[in-house]
Amino acid sequence: MISKKMTDALNLQMNREFFNARLYLSMAAYFESLNLPGAAQWMTAQAQEETGHAMRLHHHLRERGARIVLAALEAPPTQWDSPLAAFEAAYEHECKVSRQFDEHMALAQSEKDYASTIFLQWFVSEQVEEEASTDEIVQKIKMIGDHKGGLFMLDRALGERKADD
């Protein structure tokens, strides 16, 4: 049986993941406005991945017999100062999400909720990948600097990402 405290925490995170999807869709729209379709594709794939994370939480809650609560979501930002600023914001956001999952893991362990502990381990591992992939892009944009050709080449590479990555 899942506790109310764990149910509330996972419902909160499920709604955060739905927000995360909207954040990345907003970033995709920003990149489209800059005529950077590859970065937009990367962000769209990331949004789809975040929706998948939300649904994974939804499924776990349902399997455990918990009440699922969908909350209102705030609007994500719509503008960034530069492509670098947008990817830095994405990286910082992924670090924040990692801390959130660490907190949920600590709660599951303190409650001896082994089913949720095992379930949450996937997210803890996933966040390592999420941080690394966004930081890699940040570092590449920093290396490119003001060289538009480099940004064009990076955009082309980012466009190769598919939704199931």
CB contact set of 92 (below 8 Å; sequence gap of 6+): none
Q: Is it the case that residue 9 has pLDDT exceeding 70?
A: yes
d(CA 109, CA 24): 31
Show the tokens assigned to 158: 């980012």
Average pLDDT, the chain: 96
- Mean pLDDT along residues 140-144: 97
Mean per-residue pLDDT, 7-29: 98
Burial class (CB in 10 A: 0-12, 13-18, 19+), 42: buried
Q: Is the pLDDT of residue 40 over 80?
A: yes
Name the phi and psi angles at 15, rounded to 5: -65, -35
Average pLDDT rounded to a whole number, residues 125-148: 96
Find the mean pLDDT for residues 129-144: 97
Q: Assign residue 69 the CATH number of its domain.
A: 1.20.1260.10
Mean pLDDT of the 86-115 span = 98
Residue-number span of the structural domain to which 99 is assigned: 4-158
What is the pLDDT, as a whole number, of residue 163? 74
**Could you read off the pLDDT of 47-82 as tens digits, one per residue?**
999 999 999 999 999 999 999 999 999 999 999 999
Residue at 163 is within a domain:
no
Which one, of 6, 126, 14, lies nearest residue 64 by Cα?
Answer: 6
pLDDT given for residue 164 in this prediction: 67
In contact, 141 and 87? CB cutoff 8 Å: yes
Task: Answer whether residue 164 is part of any domain.
Answer: no
Residue 165 lies in a domain: no
Q: Indicate the pTM of the whole model.
A: 0.94
- pLDDT of 162 reads 84
Say whether pLDDT at 165 is over 70: no
18 pLDDT above the threshold of 90 = yes
Structural domain count of the chain: 1
Query: What HEC string does the chain produce?
Result: CCCHHHHHHHHHHHHHHHHHHHHHHHHHHHHHHCCCHHHHHHHHHHHHHHHHHHHHHHHHHHHCCCCCCCCCCCCCCCCCCCHHHHHHHHHHHHHHHHHHHHHHHHHHHHCCCHHHHHHHHHHHHHHHHHHHHHHHHHHHHHHHCCCHHHHHHHHHHHCCCCCCC
**Does the residue 114 lie in any domain?**
yes
